[in-house]
Amino acid sequence: MIHTGSRGFGHQVCTDYLDVMQKAVRKYNIELPDRELACAPFNSPEARDYLASMRAAANYAWANRQCITHWVKECFMKILNTGPKSIGMNLVYDVAHNIAKVEEHIINNKKIKVVVHRKGATRAFPPGHPELPDVYKHTGQPVIIPGDMGRASFVLLGTEKGMKESFGSTCHGAGRVMSRHQAIRQAKGRSIWKEMEEKGIIVMATGRSTLAEEMPEAYKDVSQVVEVVNNAGLSKKVARLRPMGVIKG
């Protein structure tokens, strides 16, 4: 499992367009229940510019994952002294999170075209959905939920109930319980990489603060989060993955 995105690029797009959207709310006289729901009409210049920037960030993220996937395969081939055909490493699924998609959903018994902006969430379409590739038409969309570097990650499948109750969406991770600054303070005096090594997990990072920000305690227990998702019927649990190696940029 490779979990990476557009890094600072996506963050910058978000920062830039929050200001643009807050001005658009006043410009188009939009009433909001919460100021953080800042938005603009879909056909407005502000919305078109935002979507173009967001798609550029998503394209960067896809290219990033493709490059990393290629290098991972090269490493396995080198260590096992084998070729690409015999290694049997095929991409199962590549999916974005934190992205806006134009979709059709049933609202008040009517099929309506809407923009679903999944922030902290990922698509989880059910079996038979027309936008799924043929290989997953009968199972539903693979839902990849990465956990923290010390515990687990999960693969689930989208469900019909999730389509009705959450616009075909499921969480894309466990979610933080500490801010990055809090985690760095909590990790003071500890050796996070040694703690991971004792669990059989190999960790590489650009610095101590990077590991501290991402230490397991900084996140909710993903197993509990996935259990809630599974029991609520938003997605169906399929596989639990245990971390062996983690690289943090």
**Annotated catalytic residue, options 3, 129, 138, 172:** 172
d(CA 80, CA 76): 6
- Report whether 147 contacts 105 (CB < 8 A): no
The pLDDT assigned to 249 comes to: 60
What local confidence, expressed as pLDDT, does residue 243 receive? 87
Q: Label residue 73 by pLDDT band (50, 70, 90).
A: very high
Structure tokens at 110: 């009517």
The whole-number pLDDT of residue 85 equals 81
Report yes or no: 218 and 176 within 8 Å, Cβ to Cβ: yes
The candidate with the shortest Cα–Cα distance to 136, out of 102, 87, 94, is 94
Q: What mean pLDDT comes out for the span 149-170?
A: 95
Residue 172 is among the residues annotated as catalytic for this protein? yes
Report d(CA 178, CA 47) in Å as an integer: 32
pLDDT of residue 3: 84
pLDDT of residue 40: 96
CA dihedral 231→141→173→223, nearest 10 degrees, is 40
C-alpha neighbours within 13 Å on the C-beta side of residue 165 = 11
Over range 201-230, report the average pLDDT.
Answer: 91
Q: Work out the mean pLDDT of the chain and round it to a whole number.
A: 91
Return the minimum-mean-pLDDT range out of 5-19, 144-158, 175-189, 210-224. 5-19
- Are residues 80 and 39 in contact, defined by beta-carbon separation less than 8 angstroms? no
pLDDT reading at 246 higher than 80: no
Sign of the C-alpha dihedral, residues 184, 187, 188, 193? negative
What's the rounded Cα separation, in Å, for the pair 39 and 24?
Answer: 7
Q: 170 by DSSP, 3-state: which? A: strand
| Better pLDDT: 157 or 84 | 157
Residue 248, pLDDT above cutoff 70:
no
- Report the range of poorest mean pLDDT among 40-44, 207-211, 227-231: 207-211
CA atoms within 13 A of residue 14's CA, in its CB half-sphere = 14
* Ranges of each domain in the chain: 1-89, 119-249
Q: What confidence score (pLDDT) does residue 92 get?
A: 86
State the Cα angle at 243 between 65 and 119, rounded to 5°. 50
* DSSP SS3 for 64: helix
Region 232-244: what's the mean pLDDT? 94
Q: How many CB atoms lie within 10 A of CB 17?
A: 20
Query: What percentage of residues in the chain have a pLDDT greater than 90?
Result: 69
How far, in Å, CA of 115 to CA of 128, rounded? Answer: 21
Residue 40 has, within 13 A of its CA and on its CB side, a CA count of 18
Section 197-224 average pLDDT = 89
Mean pLDDT of 78-104: 88
Lowest mean pLDDT among 22-26, 62-66, 127-131, 202-206: 202-206
CA distance 7 to 61: 8
